[in-house]
Structure 1
Protein backbone atom coordinates (compact mmCIF):
# COMPACT_ATOMS: atom_id res chain seq x y z
CA UNK A 1 0.00 0.00 0.00
CA UNK A 2 2.79 2.43 0.88
CA UNK A 3 4.59 1.74 -2.40
CA UNK A 4 1.40 2.50 -4.29
CA UNK A 5 1.16 5.93 -2.68
CA UNK A 6 4.70 6.98 -3.66
CA UNK A 7 3.87 7.71 -7.33
CA UNK A 8 0.73 9.61 -6.28
CA UNK A 9 2.72 11.68 -3.77
CA UNK A 10 5.37 12.45 -6.38
CA UNK A 11 2.72 13.52 -8.88
CA UNK A 12 1.04 15.80 -6.36
CA UNK A 13 4.42 17.30 -5.39
CA UNK A 14 5.21 18.01 -9.02
CA UNK A 15 1.85 19.71 -9.52
CA UNK A 16 2.27 21.85 -6.41
CA UNK A 17 5.81 22.86 -7.40
CA UNK A 18 4.80 23.70 -10.97
CA UNK A 19 2.04 25.91 -9.61
CA UNK A 20 4.53 27.72 -7.37
CA UNK A 21 6.89 28.26 -10.27
CA UNK A 22 4.14 29.86 -12.36
CA UNK A 23 3.32 32.25 -9.50
CA UNK A 24 7.02 33.17 -9.19
CA UNK A 25 7.26 33.76 -12.94
CA UNK A 26 4.17 35.98 -12.87
CA UNK A 27 5.59 37.95 -9.95
CA UNK A 28 8.92 38.34 -11.75
CA UNK A 29 7.37 39.65 -14.99
CA UNK A 30 9.03 42.93 -15.91
CA UNK A 31 7.09 46.09 -15.30
CA UNK A 32 6.43 48.13 -18.43
CA UNK A 33 8.62 51.21 -18.46
CA UNK A 34 7.11 54.61 -19.07
CA UNK A 35 9.09 57.54 -20.42
CA UNK A 36 9.15 60.60 -18.17
CA UNK A 37 6.53 63.22 -19.00
CA UNK A 38 9.02 65.96 -18.19
CA UNK A 39 12.33 66.79 -19.85
CA UNK A 40 14.26 66.40 -16.58
CA UNK A 41 17.70 65.00 -17.40
CA UNK A 42 17.96 62.85 -14.26
CA UNK A 43 14.58 61.21 -14.91
CA UNK A 44 15.40 60.57 -18.56
CA UNK A 45 18.83 59.15 -17.83
CA UNK A 46 17.35 56.77 -15.26
CA UNK A 47 14.63 55.70 -17.71
CA UNK A 48 17.10 55.20 -20.56
CA UNK A 49 19.39 53.19 -18.30
CA UNK A 50 16.53 50.81 -17.49
CA UNK A 51 15.57 50.46 -21.16
CA UNK A 52 19.17 49.78 -22.14
CA UNK A 53 19.47 47.19 -19.37
CA UNK A 54 16.46 45.32 -20.73
CA UNK A 55 17.66 45.32 -24.34
CA UNK A 56 21.14 43.89 -24.15
CA UNK A 57 20.39 40.52 -25.70
CA UNK A 58 23.34 39.59 -27.89
CA UNK A 59 25.67 42.16 -26.31
CA UNK A 60 28.82 40.37 -25.20
CA UNK A 61 31.06 43.36 -24.61
CA UNK A 62 30.41 47.02 -23.80
CA UNK A 63 27.48 49.40 -24.13
CA UNK A 64 28.17 52.96 -25.20
CA UNK A 65 25.21 55.21 -24.45
CA UNK A 66 24.57 58.65 -25.88
CA UNK A 67 22.09 61.18 -24.50
CA UNK A 68 20.98 64.61 -25.68
CA UNK A 69 19.04 66.94 -23.38
CA UNK A 70 16.34 69.21 -24.73
CA UNK A 71 17.91 72.41 -26.05
CA UNK A 72 21.14 70.69 -27.03
CA UNK A 73 21.33 72.79 -30.19
CA UNK A 74 22.10 76.07 -28.40
CA UNK A 75 25.63 76.95 -27.27
CA UNK A 76 26.27 76.61 -23.56
CA UNK A 77 26.89 79.81 -21.60
CA UNK A 78 30.55 80.64 -21.46
CA UNK A 79 31.40 78.17 -24.25
CA UNK A 80 34.31 79.83 -26.02
CA UNK A 81 34.13 77.98 -29.33
CA UNK A 82 30.38 78.33 -29.82
CA UNK A 83 29.81 74.59 -30.20
CA UNK A 84 26.59 73.10 -28.93
CA UNK A 85 26.17 69.85 -27.06
CA UNK A 86 24.67 68.47 -30.26
CA UNK A 87 27.83 69.43 -32.19
CA UNK A 88 30.06 67.76 -29.61
CA UNK A 89 28.00 64.56 -29.53
CA UNK A 90 27.90 64.50 -33.32
CA UNK A 91 31.71 64.72 -33.49
CA UNK A 92 32.05 62.03 -30.83
CA UNK A 93 29.66 59.52 -32.41
CA UNK A 94 30.99 60.17 -35.93
CA UNK A 95 34.51 59.38 -34.76
CA UNK A 96 33.34 56.18 -33.07
CA UNK A 97 31.56 55.03 -36.22
CA UNK A 98 34.54 55.90 -38.42
CA UNK A 99 36.92 53.95 -36.16
CA UNK A 100 34.45 51.01 -36.28
CA UNK A 101 32.78 49.27 -33.38
CA UNK A 102 33.85 45.78 -32.39
CA UNK A 103 31.37 42.88 -32.60
CA UNK A 104 29.42 42.33 -29.40
CA UNK A 105 29.26 46.01 -28.52
CA UNK A 106 26.17 48.18 -28.51
CA UNK A 107 25.64 51.88 -29.17
CA UNK A 108 22.50 53.15 -27.41
CA UNK A 109 20.82 56.46 -28.25
CA UNK A 110 18.02 58.21 -26.39
CA UNK A 111 16.71 61.69 -25.65
CA UNK A 112 13.51 63.50 -24.68
CA UNK A 113 13.93 65.10 -28.14
CA UNK A 114 13.61 62.00 -30.32
CA UNK A 115 13.82 63.87 -33.64
CA UNK A 116 17.04 65.63 -32.63
CA UNK A 117 18.62 62.36 -31.52
CA UNK A 118 17.53 60.74 -34.78
CA UNK A 119 19.21 63.61 -36.65
CA UNK A 120 22.41 62.96 -34.71
CA UNK A 121 22.40 59.24 -35.49
CA UNK A 122 21.66 59.73 -39.18
CA UNK A 123 24.35 62.40 -39.54
CA UNK A 124 26.90 60.30 -37.61
CA UNK A 125 26.36 57.27 -39.81
CA UNK A 126 26.56 59.19 -43.09
CA UNK A 127 29.50 57.87 -45.10
CA UNK A 128 30.02 54.98 -42.66
CA UNK A 129 31.94 51.99 -43.93
CA UNK A 130 29.49 49.14 -44.68
CA UNK A 131 31.29 46.92 -42.18
CA UNK A 132 31.94 49.58 -39.51
CA UNK A 133 29.49 48.02 -37.07
CA UNK A 134 29.36 44.43 -38.28
CA UNK A 135 28.45 42.14 -35.39
CA UNK A 136 27.42 45.01 -33.14
CA UNK A 137 24.05 46.58 -32.53
CA UNK A 138 22.45 49.99 -32.22
CA UNK A 139 19.58 50.66 -29.83
CA UNK A 140 17.43 53.69 -30.59
CA UNK A 141 14.94 54.76 -27.91
CA UNK A 142 12.54 57.28 -29.35
CA UNK A 143 9.39 57.87 -31.34
CA UNK A 144 8.20 55.52 -34.10
CA UNK A 145 8.19 58.32 -36.67
CA UNK A 146 11.97 58.67 -36.24
CA UNK A 147 12.75 54.97 -36.31
CA UNK A 148 12.78 54.25 -40.06
CA UNK A 149 15.37 56.86 -40.93
CA UNK A 150 17.61 55.79 -38.04
CA UNK A 151 17.24 52.15 -39.06
CA UNK A 152 18.22 52.91 -42.66
CA UNK A 153 21.37 54.78 -41.58
CA UNK A 154 22.40 52.15 -39.03
CA UNK A 155 21.89 49.12 -41.25
CA UNK A 156 24.11 50.64 -43.97
CA UNK A 157 26.99 50.38 -41.46
CA UNK A 158 26.27 46.68 -40.87
CA UNK A 159 24.79 46.93 -37.37
CA UNK A 160 21.76 45.13 -36.02
CA UNK A 161 19.07 47.73 -35.31
CA UNK A 162 16.92 47.58 -32.18
CA UNK A 163 14.10 50.09 -31.60
CA UNK A 164 12.26 50.75 -28.35
CA UNK A 165 9.41 53.23 -28.37
CA UNK A 166 9.68 55.86 -25.65
CA UNK A 167 6.09 55.96 -24.46
Structure 2
Protein backbone atom coordinates (compact mmCIF):
# COMPACT_ATOMS: atom_id res chain seq x y z
CA UNK A 1 0.00 0.00 0.00
CA UNK A 2 2.80 2.41 0.87
CA UNK A 3 4.48 1.61 -2.45
CA UNK A 4 1.39 2.44 -4.54
CA UNK A 5 0.89 5.68 -2.57
CA UNK A 6 4.47 6.67 -3.26
CA UNK A 7 4.09 5.89 -6.99
CA UNK A 8 0.91 7.98 -7.18
CA UNK A 9 2.62 10.83 -5.31
CA UNK A 10 5.65 10.65 -7.62
CA UNK A 11 3.37 10.71 -10.66
CA UNK A 12 1.48 13.73 -9.33
CA UNK A 13 4.73 15.61 -8.75
CA UNK A 14 6.15 14.72 -12.19
CA UNK A 15 3.04 15.52 -14.25
CA UNK A 16 3.18 19.33 -13.86
CA UNK A 17 6.80 19.31 -15.04
CA UNK A 18 5.90 17.32 -18.14
CA UNK A 19 2.94 19.58 -18.91
CA UNK A 20 5.12 22.69 -18.50
CA UNK A 21 7.72 21.26 -20.89
CA UNK A 22 5.02 20.47 -23.45
CA UNK A 23 3.63 24.03 -23.23
CA UNK A 24 7.13 25.45 -23.73
CA UNK A 25 7.55 23.32 -26.89
CA UNK A 26 4.24 24.61 -28.25
CA UNK A 27 5.13 28.26 -27.70
CA UNK A 28 8.44 27.84 -29.53
CA UNK A 29 6.65 26.76 -32.73
CA UNK A 30 4.59 29.95 -33.04
CA UNK A 31 4.99 31.37 -36.53
CA UNK A 32 6.11 34.95 -37.10
CA UNK A 33 3.59 37.41 -38.51
CA UNK A 34 3.67 37.79 -42.30
CA UNK A 35 5.73 40.62 -43.72
CA UNK A 36 3.40 43.31 -45.08
CA UNK A 37 3.46 44.29 -48.75
CA UNK A 38 5.70 47.36 -49.05
CA UNK A 39 3.92 50.64 -49.70
CA UNK A 40 6.97 51.96 -51.57
CA UNK A 41 9.22 50.64 -54.33
CA UNK A 42 12.13 50.09 -51.94
CA UNK A 43 14.07 47.09 -53.31
CA UNK A 44 15.13 45.85 -49.87
CA UNK A 45 11.57 45.96 -48.52
CA UNK A 46 10.32 44.08 -51.58
CA UNK A 47 13.07 41.48 -51.26
CA UNK A 48 12.09 40.88 -47.64
CA UNK A 49 8.38 40.67 -48.54
CA UNK A 50 8.85 38.30 -51.48
CA UNK A 51 11.21 36.07 -49.51
CA UNK A 52 8.63 35.82 -46.73
CA UNK A 53 5.84 34.92 -49.18
CA UNK A 54 8.02 32.25 -50.80
CA UNK A 55 8.99 30.78 -47.41
CA UNK A 56 5.33 30.54 -46.44
CA UNK A 57 4.50 28.74 -49.69
CA UNK A 58 7.58 26.59 -50.19
CA UNK A 59 5.75 23.41 -49.15
CA UNK A 60 7.80 20.33 -49.99
CA UNK A 61 9.98 22.03 -52.62
CA UNK A 62 13.61 21.00 -52.46
CA UNK A 63 14.95 23.84 -54.62
CA UNK A 64 13.61 27.35 -55.10
CA UNK A 65 14.28 29.92 -57.81
CA UNK A 66 12.98 33.46 -57.25
CA UNK A 67 12.73 35.81 -60.22
CA UNK A 68 12.28 39.43 -59.17
CA UNK A 69 12.40 42.83 -60.79
CA UNK A 70 13.26 46.18 -59.28
CA UNK A 71 10.84 49.09 -59.41
CA UNK A 72 10.26 50.38 -62.94
CA UNK A 73 11.89 53.74 -62.11
CA UNK A 74 15.16 52.21 -60.88
CA UNK A 75 18.46 52.61 -62.67
CA UNK A 76 19.13 49.91 -65.29
CA UNK A 77 15.58 48.53 -65.07
CA UNK A 78 15.61 47.28 -68.67
CA UNK A 79 18.97 45.61 -68.16
CA UNK A 80 17.76 43.88 -65.00
CA UNK A 81 14.59 42.74 -66.78
CA UNK A 82 16.66 41.31 -69.65
CA UNK A 83 18.97 39.44 -67.25
CA UNK A 84 16.08 37.97 -65.24
CA UNK A 85 14.27 36.97 -68.45
CA UNK A 86 17.35 35.24 -69.81
CA UNK A 87 17.84 33.37 -66.52
CA UNK A 88 14.17 32.34 -66.32
CA UNK A 89 14.04 31.24 -69.96
CA UNK A 90 17.19 29.15 -69.55
CA UNK A 91 15.82 27.50 -66.41
CA UNK A 92 12.47 26.71 -68.05
CA UNK A 93 14.00 25.47 -71.33
CA UNK A 94 16.12 22.97 -69.40
CA UNK A 95 12.94 21.37 -68.12
CA UNK A 96 11.89 20.86 -64.59
CA UNK A 97 13.14 18.70 -61.80
CA UNK A 98 10.51 17.36 -59.44
CA UNK A 99 10.40 19.33 -56.21
CA UNK A 100 11.41 22.64 -57.78
CA UNK A 101 9.58 25.90 -57.04
CA UNK A 102 9.84 28.78 -59.51
CA UNK A 103 8.59 32.00 -57.90
CA UNK A 104 7.91 35.29 -59.70
CA UNK A 105 7.23 38.61 -57.97
CA UNK A 106 8.04 42.32 -57.95
CA UNK A 107 6.51 45.76 -57.31
CA UNK A 108 5.17 45.73 -60.92
CA UNK A 109 2.78 42.78 -61.19
CA UNK A 110 2.07 43.26 -64.92
CA UNK A 111 5.76 43.31 -65.85
CA UNK A 112 6.41 40.27 -63.64
CA UNK A 113 3.57 38.48 -65.42
CA UNK A 114 5.23 39.39 -68.74
CA UNK A 115 8.46 37.87 -67.42
CA UNK A 116 6.73 34.63 -66.41
CA UNK A 117 4.69 34.33 -69.61
CA UNK A 118 7.69 34.98 -71.84
CA UNK A 119 9.88 32.55 -69.91
CA UNK A 120 7.36 29.75 -70.50
CA UNK A 121 6.90 30.38 -74.25
CA UNK A 122 9.63 27.87 -75.18
CA UNK A 123 8.66 25.25 -72.60
CA UNK A 124 7.90 21.87 -74.09
CA UNK A 125 4.51 20.39 -73.18
CA UNK A 126 4.84 18.26 -70.05
CA UNK A 127 8.50 19.22 -69.51
CA UNK A 128 7.87 20.75 -66.08
CA UNK A 129 5.97 17.93 -64.34
CA UNK A 130 6.65 17.97 -60.61
CA UNK A 131 7.50 21.69 -60.69
CA UNK A 132 5.41 24.36 -58.98
CA UNK A 133 5.20 27.94 -60.25
CA UNK A 134 4.31 30.58 -57.68
CA UNK A 135 3.15 33.94 -59.04
CA UNK A 136 2.99 36.75 -56.48
CA UNK A 137 1.03 39.65 -57.91
CA UNK A 138 -2.37 41.06 -58.80
CA UNK A 139 -5.36 38.85 -59.62
CA UNK A 140 -5.73 40.63 -62.98
CA UNK A 141 -2.36 39.16 -64.08
CA UNK A 142 -2.84 35.69 -62.65
CA UNK A 143 -4.90 34.12 -65.45
CA UNK A 144 -2.44 34.88 -68.24
CA UNK A 145 0.46 33.48 -66.21
CA UNK A 146 -1.57 30.37 -65.43
CA UNK A 147 -2.41 29.91 -69.12
CA UNK A 148 1.28 30.12 -70.04
CA UNK A 149 2.45 27.74 -67.29
CA UNK A 150 -0.09 24.90 -67.42
CA UNK A 151 0.86 23.38 -70.83
CA UNK A 152 4.34 22.71 -69.41
CA UNK A 153 2.84 20.38 -66.79
CA UNK A 154 3.89 22.61 -63.90
CA UNK A 155 1.42 23.26 -61.10
CA UNK A 156 0.43 26.91 -60.92
CA UNK A 157 -0.07 28.68 -57.59
CA UNK A 158 -1.15 32.29 -57.16
CA UNK A 159 -0.63 34.49 -54.10
CA UNK A 160 -2.12 37.94 -54.18
CA UNK A 161 0.40 40.61 -53.26
CA UNK A 162 -1.21 42.32 -50.29
Bin for the TM-score computed over the shorter chain? 0.7 to 0.9
129, 132, 139: which one aligns with 1:134: 129
Distance of aligned partners of 1:25 and 1:58 in 2 relative to their CA distance in 1, 3 Å threshold: same
More displaced 10-residue stretch of structure 1: 20-29 or 83-92: 20-29
1:111 aligns with 2:103: no
Conserved in 1, the CA contact under 8 Å of 2:35 and 2:48?
no
- Distance in 2, matches of 1:144 and 1:35, equals 15
1:155 aligns with 2:157: no
Q: What is the TM-score with the length of structure 2 in the denominator?
A: 0.78
Match of residue 56 from structure 2: 54
- Distance in 2, matches of 1:149 and 1:103, equals 23
Match of residue 90 from structure 1: 85
Match of residue 119 from structure 2: 124
Q: What is the TM-score with the length of structure 1 in the denominator?
A: 0.76
Conserved in 2, the CA contact under 8 Å of 1:137 and 1:162?
yes
Q: Which runs of 5+ in 1 are unaligned?
A: 78-82
Q: By how many angstroms is 1:139 displaced?
A: 1.8
Q: Deviations over 1:108-165 (max 9, x none)?
A: 1110111210121112212421222111211222223322322232222111223222
Q: Deviations over 1:4-43 (max 9, x none)?
A: 4645764785576446635653563221221111110111
Task: Please provide the CA RMSD for this pair.
Answer: 2.9
- Distance in 2, matches of 1:154 and 1:12, equals 60
